[in-house]
Each structure stands twice: as structure tokens, then as C-alpha cells.
Structure 1
């Protein structure tokens, strides 16, 4: 007979929440509380999901996994303070968990607490040096704080593990744009675009060309972006800004 927890996981993957709840009804295990909560969330019954995890942590107050599940649930509900509180509780029990540390960093990043986030991400990277996503997030923190050299260092370290990641090249282009190395920015945006067709990358390329003095080329690039991505409104906004520029060539890269 198949383990009910394993079966419940499969049913969740198949998006059958009602069957999960029937299968796990009455089972008093931390994993069962977690899966029932996920089933409620899948059914868009958020309050029931929270109550299920509350019952779970009351029954198993030292189950770090249940606090982690609560943090994930609150994050899905966009309740960032509650999510942070729960992941911190998980970390009190399991302080060196890579997954818990990374979730804490993600929450802090989404809250705009960039200094706290990059400190936690330092721990994450020490636990898993090849985590490109964590390095990218840490570089984003440095970028947001105007620490462009630190951002560039983190991007280059991440590129050692994955030089085909378009978001690393895009962020590198943004760093070069902020530091007025327009040709280098243009190069990075081109690499990003070659790896993924993304309207942000296309606009970044056009802005780099414009700021680098290649105005006609930039306008052609932004016109091409508007055709390729007709629903991306920022391309039109940047295009109109370019057309309205005076002789200063000063356009925001934001």
C-alpha cells in the first residue's frame, strides 16, 4: 500500500485538492497538516490553509517544516511580515537550513530591505556557492543600493556558474548603464536578447545606444521592440521620450 503522504503529494501535483483532503483526513503528522494546507490553498481557501497550519504548529511546536510551510503560505498571500516571522521561527529550530535562509532573503528582498537581504544571501551563498539565483538576487540588492562594483563582482561570480543566464547579462548591462559605460551596456543587452526575447532587454539596448550617442540606431531598435512586443507599454514611453529629447541626450534608464 502506498504511503498516504507520498500519495497526497502526487494528488497535489495532479491538482486534486479534494482528494488530498479526503485521503489525509484525521492523519496526525506534520506532513499531513502541511499537505492539507496546500490543498486548501490550491482550492483558494486561504483562511482554512492558515488554520490548518496553526493546528499543526500547536500539535507539533518544534516542527520547523510547518513554520516554513506557514512562511510559504503567507508569502503566497503577499503577507510579507507574517511570512518573515514564520521563517524566522523555522530558523530558530534549524538555523543552518539553506532553504529557510533563502526564503528569508527572498522575503527581505521583496520588502525592499536590501541590506538585510544581501547579508542573509551571503549565508545562502556560503551554504551553496553555485546558487546563481541567490547571487543574482544579491547583485540586485547591491544595484538597488548604488553599490555598482559590488553588484558587478557578484554578477561575474554568478556568470562563472552560468554564463547563459540572460538576467545576469541584463543586470550587468544595467550596471554599465548607470556607470555610463554605454558600449559595454549595449554588449550585455545584446547578449541577454540573444538568450531570450524579452521587451525589457530590447528597451535596455535602445537606451544604451541612445545614451551612447547612436540616436538613429536607438530609435530603430525601439521601433523594432514596439513591433515585437506591442503590449509592452514602456517601449512606447521610452520611444516618445527619445523623440522629445533636446540636444542633451539625457534619458532616464529606469
Structure 2
């Protein structure tokens, strides 16, 4: 039996796990027979324990952690005080993320041997993985008190500090390691991460050079050095170091991405394409790769782009929806709809129900005024998602464009159902606009009532309902909506104009609802707000100012209220003239009227005639 164990151990040490396992199985078969032998010696028990431990180690090395635990638990029944069993089982629990069981085993070891630095440190690692950082560092510190120069422990504690961004403590641990072993490349790499995080480029460069003195062909050190050159915009140095790194490790994705980015900065787009295409082959879902491949499009003219797409088309034949979709969206943004449709159709071949591809395809045909084609995509969305407000919106508008007013109109019940799912004021505004065009004002108000109940302070809804009431000559209800909208946007001149029109209706002034409104102040505000408009750009604003000064809207002086200015026909003419010069047809008409009647300017029949002739041409 002992011979089998020794041979099994020899096989294990040479990595011949199957042969080792076979010998150990024979030992355990004999153990099962001897189990009922009351005279079984301690030596035999020890042999069986060792056989189980070896089997567990084989499973551990093969990453069969559940089997490892099974063998060790059986062994634990024979020898519950065995530190090797407990420590090895803890390792299996650790890799299975069963941290509480791992801590339990380590605690049992520490009951047997309280000052075991390795076990204390291992427990600290488990606490760290659980996020119990205080307990972790208590154990790390305790272990290093016992073994202050243990390089592995110092590196691991330094790494833990580094991950928590405690750079000073991490640097201190790494420095101590380098005092003991100056050529430890792992420690130098960790130090370089500290310098990189803190932006200490000179220290980082010195650290990288140390690593390369020790290991001239270290691809990761060459990569880190390239990052420094990249930050300094020394792209030729970047390319030299990364090319060497990739010669050593050709599939080093981070190096390929950085080199591709450097080529991009140098506008060497073919080289960008080569590097990122290779990344795409290695990691087809790498979003950085897709982004740069799309950015390359922006550096190419249209002819070069078509050539580029032919070169890269094979890369996008794979079933990567995210990549294909991004390409389609890029062409959509560029307005190159034929290309974008090719990509969207490819997406729909892979996933016929992809909502984004369906919506964008429908929008393309809508923009091209090919409404029947748009229906095909919109109907697919609505079939899968009957209450999709975007699809319903576009289908409704497409019907309206085709003159199918009845089909384009969504009833109030349907609209209410959509709104329960997602509030969309653009949708309601459009639906209300259809009702306006159909002269169905009451239906418009019905829809808007639902919307305003859901969103009482929505200014667009309030204005639209106010306008609807205004058309129905329900001026009192219109006024309430306009006043509420004005609370949210006190500088909205269009609201003030509607209020002014309501106040200009003399019969209404006797209505009790106007008693609490200071009409003169509202009219004066109209003038003030229009004076704030950029007169050099806003033709309509100049026309309104002219109208205010000519008709006395907001300009009648009231000494008691300290508002207003004198009515001024000359200013009125100046504003009408500015408006006319900027092409406003109403301004042209009023300039002609001023010349004809001598308002703010001397009468001039010839100029009046010219303006009248220009007005007729505009009509």
C-alpha cells in the first residue's frame, strides 16, 4: 500500500494525474476493506489520509473544486485536526466563492496553530473578497508582524491598498519588497500603476525602463511605456514600442487598440482598419473597436469610404448586432439611407423583431415619402408591441400624409391607454393638430384634458388647449390656460399676445373673470418683451413692436402705475420699415399704409404705390 502511495505521489509531482489517480484509487479500495478491522494501525490511517489528500490535490489542480471538497471532507472525518486538509479545503471553497466556509476552515486551523502567518493572511484575503476591508487589513498586518519580510504578503497587501486607491500605503509596501528584491518585476509593474494613476510621468518612465532593463521583451512593460508616449503625443515612439510588444504577443488586444488609436491620430486610416479589424476578430463585442471603426468613416471622403466599406464588409458579416447596428446608425445620421438600410436589414435577418432597426427603417422611408414601405416596418412593431407610441405616431402621420384622415386619427381611449404606459406630449400635440385640421376642436380638448391631468404644468399642452378654447371663443377658459402657462414661462411673448387679444375684445371686459387682472400691466409687458427680441434678426418682432407703438398696445402712459411710454407713430414706422426690409409681408403692407396715410412719415403716394405693388406680388 505504501508503495502505491509513493508511486502515486511521484506521478502527481510529474503531472501524470490519471496514473496517480489510478494508484490512489487502489489504496482507497483497500481502505474500505480495512475500515471494519478494529486493529487498523495509525500508520495505515495516515496512509489513507495522505492518499485522499493527494486525490484532492489532483482535483484542485484540475480546477475540480467540488470534487476536491468531497475528498477532503471524507479525509476530515478520519483526521479532523489535520491542518493540510483544512487549508486545502479552504482554497477550494475560496475558488467557489463560498467565503464563509473558507473562513470557518481557516479559523479551525488557527485554533490549532494561532501564530500561523500564512493562514492569518489567507483569512485576510477572504475578508477582502467579502468587502470586509477593516478585518482584512487587521489580518494582513498581524501576519506581517509575524513575518515582516514575507515578499508575497507584502505584494498582496500592497495590491489590496492599490485597489482601494490607498496609493501611499501601497507604495510603501512595494518599496519594502524592492529593498529585499530589487529585480521583482511584478512589484515594479504595480508601482507603475500607482505612477500612472497619479500622473507622475517621470517616475512612470523610470519604472518602465527598470522593468525593460530586467526583461527587455516584457510586452506589458512596452505597452505601459507606449501609454506614456501616447499622453505626450509622441506617436512614433508609441508605434515603435507597440510593434515590438505585438511581435512578442500578437493577440495583445490592449496594445492593438492603442496602436490603432495612435494611427488614427496620425490619420493613417488603413492602418487603423488593420489593427481594429484584428481586435474585432479576437473580441467581436469590443465596443472601443466598433467606435474607432466608425470614427474612421469621418476621416474618409465618400469615395474612400465606399472602398473602406468593401474592405471591412467581411468583418461585419458576423452576427454581431451591436456592431452592425452602429454602422447603420452612422449612415442614418449622415443621411445615406441606402447604406443604412443594408445594415438595418442585416440586423433584421438576425433578429426580425429588433425594435430600433424597425423604427429607423420606417423613419427612412417616411423621410423619403415612401409611406407604404414605412407601414411594413411600423406594422411589424405594432404587431409585437400594440401600444408602441412611436410606431403609432408615425403610422398615424403617414396615414395623414396619404390623406387618410380617418385612419390617421387615434381616438381618445387609445390615446389614454398609450399615455398610461408612457407620457409623450409630442404624440398628443400631433394628435391634437390632426383634430385642428379636421376642425374637431372638442376632440382636441378631450385629448388635451387627459394629457394635462397627467402633466398639469406642461406649458405646450396649456398653450395648445388655450388656443383651442380661443378658436371656440371660450375666452374665459383660454385665459386661465394662458395665465397658468405664463407662470412657467413669464417671457413667452406669444402667450402675452393671446392674452392681449382677449383683452382687446371690449364686450368681454364686463365679464367678472377680468376684475382681478391688471390689463394695462399685461399690455405693457407685451411691449417690454418684444423690445428684448433681437431686432437685427427677428422680422416678426419688429413688426409687432411697430404694431404696439402704432396702436398703443402697452404704451399708453399711466403715471400712477409708472408704466408705459407715449404712443409714437414715428417709432412705429421705423419698426415697420425694419420688418419690411427683413422680408416680412405684413411689415411691407404697413409701410405702404404709413406712406399712404402719412403715419410717422411724410405722405408719399409713389412709395405707397410701390409697396402696394410689392404686396400684390407677394400674394
User: TM-score band (shorter)?
Assistant: 0.7 to 0.9
Q: How much does 1:87 deviate?
A: 7.2
Alignment match, 1:221: 572
Q: Give the number of the structure with larger relative contact order, counting CA–CA contacts within 8 Å between residues 6 or more apart.
A: 1
1:33 to 358, 379, 385: 358
Query: Which shows bigger deviation, 120-129 or 89-98?
Result: 89-98
1:189 to 523, 526, 536: 526
* CA distance in 1 between partners of 2:461 and 2:404 (Å): 19
Name stretches of at least 5 consecutive residues in structure 1 with no aligned partner. Answer: 246-254
* CA distance in 2 between partners of 1:184 and 1:242 (Å): 28
Q: How much does 1:132 deviate?
A: 0.9
Backbone CA RMSD of aligned residues: 3.7
Seen in structure 2, the aligned counterparts of structure 1 residues 6 and 74 have a Cα distance that, compared at 3 Å, is farther
After superposition, where does 1:27-176 map in structure 2 within 5 Å? Answer: 27=348, 28-29=352-353, 30-54=355-379, 56-57=381-382, 59-60=383-384, 62-65=386-389, 66-74=391-399, 77=401, 79=403, 81=405, 84-85=408-409, 91=415, 94=418, 96=420, 97-99=422-424, 100-176=427-503
Conservation of the 8 A alpha-carbon contact between 2:539 and 2:578:
no
State whether structure 2 residue 589 is matched by structure 1 residue 237: yes
Name stretches of at least 5 consecutive residues in structure 2 with no aligned partner. Answer: 1-284, 286-321, 510-518, 557-565, 598-619
Conservation of the 8 A alpha-carbon contact between 1:70 and 1:83:
no
* CA distance in 1 between partners of 2:445 and 2:528 (Å): 26
* CA distance in 1 between partners of 2:404 and 2:462 (Å): 22
**Structure with the greater alpha carbon radius of gyration:** 2
Q: How much does 1:47 deviate?
A: 4.0
Alignment match, 1:16: 336
Alignment match, 2:261: none
After superposition, where does 1:239-254 map in structure 2 within 5 Å? Answer: 239-241=591-593
Q: TM-score, normalised by structure 2?
A: 0.34
* CA distance in 1 between partners of 2:384 and 2:413 (Å): 13
Q: How much does 1:10 deviate?
A: 5.5
Q: How much does 1:154 deviate?
A: 0.9
Seen in structure 2, the aligned counterparts of structure 1 residues 209 and 119 have a Cα distance that, compared at 3 Å, is farther
Q: How much does 1:175 deviate?
A: 2.7
Task: Map Cα deviations across residues 40-98 of structure 1 (whole Å, 9 max, x no partner).
Answer: 233443443244434554x54725342222124445x3847156335769637635353
How many residue pairs match? The answer is 243
Conservation of the 8 A alpha-carbon contact between 1:68 and 1:90:
no
Conservation of the 8 A alpha-carbon contact between 1:37 and 1:53:
yes
